[in-house]
Amino acid sequence: MVKEESVSLTRQTIYCLIPILDMYAAFRVKRLKRYLLIILSVGAVLGYVDATMFPDYVWEDFDDFVSSMFFLDYVKYADDPIRLPLLVVYQVGPVLLSIYLVRRFSKQWNKKFT
């Protein structure tokens, strides 16, 4: 289990920038279920909106899947004036939401110890 002590907001924010550690940051303040519910819901909505707006951009094979996971889509769609800004929003938006949620949860957690 996690120690019942206050957490560092700076460290929690840094954890949000590193994949998987964002979930640890939420777990540390005992808000993992709520955090996952919000983040996965936003991800599902963004995925649905993206698939609806751009039905031609689907993964055709494993190489397309790998290129999207390693952010090579930015190079692939660099000439598309609509797709590229949306890709940036789809990547940056959830990270900013993650930072906001974890900082908010951490502040509430730290109030218990003051």
Cα–chain center distance at 104: 15
Contact 25, 103 (CB under 8 A): no
CA distance 103 to 114: 17
| pLDDT, one tens digit for every residue, the chain (114 residues) | 778 899 999 999 999 999 899 999 999 999 999 999 999 999 999 888 887 887 766 667 777 777 766 766 667 777 778 877 888 888 899 999 999 999 999 999 999 988
34, two tokens: 């709520």
Q: Which pTM was predicted?
A: 0.82
Contact 4, 110 (CB under 8 A): no
End-to-end CA distance of the chain: 21
